[in-house]
Chain A
């Protein structure tokens, strides 16, 4: 890339999710000029080549609003009038929209990369000012929100054809998005990439004579499928398998606590509150197997992390999980909503000879190194930006 391109990575909050933070970091390191707009949600890590326009309390919001109203008024009065017209047509609170929109119009990035598809209606206007709009296709926003709320589906169908480019977190999600008229040639699959140098692989010695240490990580949301995992834990117990199952991130969720009590699994199953990223990695390292019982996912980051660290993974075959895991090769895939199969595979894992275990986790690490490394993610995302900038639609 010859010219330094200006990219806005927008999720509405700064700092954002792990994936988005990693992406920002990588792009900034590669010399793109980054713009991060939104609500300040904690300590902002200083990135080179980056401009932060954030706000938190009422006062800071007011100051940002006054500043950019003034700047636009003086420097880009025509554009401001045009945007004000667009804003006045919206039913949403005008001042809130101005606070969100004005800084973007003023800095006018080459690319506005929207992380959450559901907000596409709020940001389609950027195209009127020569800004290319890229939308990420991830998780719930594509996989079930439009199914449940037909209004979202209608919005997608109307606006997806106009979007300049899509970043898909998996091939599976591209197919879902195409149902709402996202054109295949505009979609690029860019897999989540890990900073592998920070996640050294550790070849485990799993002792079949100690209880199998199973772990799941993720908040107590129905899509995580923990009810199926608990039912399979019960079957495992009935089958006489010695195990300890920890779910990190669910705390004392009512439904799961009730189910655990009903299944009398208090001694086998432990619920923990959310842990920090470092603590999560540590708990994955200590486990023999990471279980992903979800009914819906893009590609779950915890699975990638476990595979990088050398912990065996068993995952349901949902979303794009089969793009990472090849059953019996680098992990295990089981059907969704099926506690019996999940239990039987867990039992098999508990009896796995050490050489087999090690062979699988080594292959898993290789998959991650080839397909989910941070460098690859940044290069591919830049390719997507470049392609969009070079294409006149």
Chain B
């Protein structure tokens, strides 16, 4: 089978979700063609990758590329281009947009495919009819931001999609619930395939005792979605209670200034470390050196970092944002706290600190077992092979 995967750019080696999926499909004898919007080199070696025509820059550049692509598409792929044009017309798109769609999708039209799979919901715009035009089936993945946040700013953005898509992939049950909220009509089958991690890489064999007694950690981009300001406020409450602790935040991002100022204003500068971005191996060291992993996000598709922390035998406290409450089962494999509520988080942390060693290890063992069984790479590969059947 030939499967086309539409992504913003070539996945980095660390983007396990895509790289593992592609490897799995190829191992089962399928061919995977990746279509990307920009030619930024990823670290993952792929067999076949095609870049969308670059439609930015000087008027001359855009004009000549457009003309070339348009003529090329009509000469060598007349039938498919014509079909795309007619399908777009049926949808009521203007002449300019119809022509633009032929040019913008010329890299996809040239490929014979059985499936065309959009890696994120937001990749689908102006490509709703491409799969049908080339005679392929259409699949779309929804992962979090694309259905949780994007449609709020762009209401109705998926309305043209729901009648055309053949299969929908979601990474959590919460995300399928969101599809209905944004107009999904129940026609296409929804299949849940959760993210997975390398459970051999993340394990607790090198387990060591943390140097600070109450050592907390979060691995996250410094972005509003991650709820780090609320997390810091919870820690300020713990400090007021006289609890000694250290909290490490691993990651970089646009909200550094906001969070650093919050740490200052909440008088936590001595209690919080911002490490910035650090490499994978070092993240593992840092995780090893912590007792409790916190992921108190406001919005979250699923979160691999929480899976990795569980696999390494860490106690995990997470918010109830979208997929997190499937990632961690409350009171079984960790704790789920209502989001945006620093008081609730602080109380939960205190509660967890007060547990006995046996109670804690019962939780971490259950979590570790569950992650190994349910979120391993082989299982995910199998599920994706099944997805296209």
Contacts and interface: CB of A to CB of B under 8 A. Distances in A.
Interface in A223-249: 223, 227, 231
Contacts of A295: 261-262, 265
B12 interface: no
A231 B264 contact: no
B149 to A, nearest CB: 5
A252 B224 contact: no
Interface in B208-231: 224-225, 229
B184 interface: no
Contacts of A144: 257, 260-261, 264
Nearest to B341: A231
A147 B149 contact: no
Interface string B360-374: 000000000000000
Given A254-B152, A336-B265, A337-B233, 9 more contacts: A148-B257, A222-B229, A223-B261, A252-B153, A254-B149, A255-B225, A262-B340, A296-B265, A337-B266
B256 interface: yes
A148 B265 contact: no
Nearest to B181: A261
A261 B181 CA distance: 12
A258 interface: yes
A148 B299 contact: no
The 8 A-B residue pairs with the shortest CB-CB distance, nearest first, are: A222-B258, A255-B224, A144-B261, A148-B260, A148-B257, A257-B152, A261-B152, A147-B264
**Does more than half of chain A's interface fall in helix, strand or loop, or is it mixed?**
helix
Contacts of B256: 148
Nearest to A140: B257
A223 B261 CA distance: 9
Contact of B153 (A145, A222, A257): A257
Contacts of B261: 144, 147-148, 223, 295-296
Contacts of B255: 222
A231 B340 contact: yes
A262 B224 CA distance: 14
A227 B265 CA distance: 17
B114 to A, nearest CB: 36
16 contacts: A144-B260, A147-B264, A148-B257, A148-B260, A222-B258, A223-B258, A231-B340, A252-B153, A254-B152, A257-B152, A258-B152, A258-B299, A261-B152, A295-B261, A295-B262, A337-B265
Contacts of A259: 298
Contacts of B260: 144, 147-148
Contacts of A254: 149, 152-153, 224
A145 B266 CA distance: 17
Contacts of A227: 229
Contacts of B258: 222-223
B260 to A, nearest CB: 5
Contacts of A261: 152
Interface residues of A, number: 20
Nearest to A340: B343
A381 B338 CA distance: 51
B340 to A, nearest CB: 7
A227 B225 CA distance: 12
A258 B297 CA distance: 13
Contacts of A252: 153
Contacts of A257: 152-153
A12 to B, nearest CB: 21
A147 to B, nearest CB: 5
A94 B149 CA distance: 45
A327 B212 CA distance: 43
A148 B252 CA distance: 13
Nearest to B339: A262
Contacts of B264: 144, 147
Interface string B147-165: 0110011000000000000
A63 B359 CA distance: 76
Contacts of A145: 257
A259 B262 CA distance: 19
A337 B256 CA distance: 18
Contacts of A231: 340
Interface string A91-120: 000000000000000000000000000000
A296 to B, nearest CB: 7
A258 B298 contact: yes
Nearest to A251: B153
Nearest to B230: A227
A117 to B, nearest CB: 16
Contacts of B229: 222, 227
Contacts of A222: 229, 255, 257-258
A209 B152 CA distance: 33
Interface in B132-154: 148-149, 152-153
B57 to A, nearest CB: 20
Contacts of B299: 258
A201 B298 CA distance: 42
Interface string A129-156: 0000000000000001101100000000
B144 to A, nearest CB: 12
B346 to A, nearest CB: 14
A252 B149 CA distance: 12
Interface in B261-298: 261-262, 264-266, 298
Contacts of B265: 295-296, 336-337
Nearest to B274: A148
A335 B152 CA distance: 31
Interface in A282-317: 295-296
Interface in B40-55: none
A141 to B, nearest CB: 12
A367 B237 CA distance: 36
B258 to A, nearest CB: 4
A111 to B, nearest CB: 32
Contacts of B149: 254, 258
Nearest to A255: B224
B12 to A, nearest CB: 24
Nearest to A336: B265
Contacts of A262: 298, 340
A295 B224 CA distance: 16
A244 B327 CA distance: 38
A223 B264 CA distance: 13
Interface string A253-270: 011011101100000000
A89 B312 CA distance: 52
Contacts of A147: 260-261, 264
User: Quick one: which of A231, A258, A296, A336 has the most chain B CB within 10 A?
Assistant: A258
A254 B260 CA distance: 21
Contacts of B148: 258
B373 to A, nearest CB: 33
Contacts of B340: 231, 262
Interface in B293-340: 298-299, 340
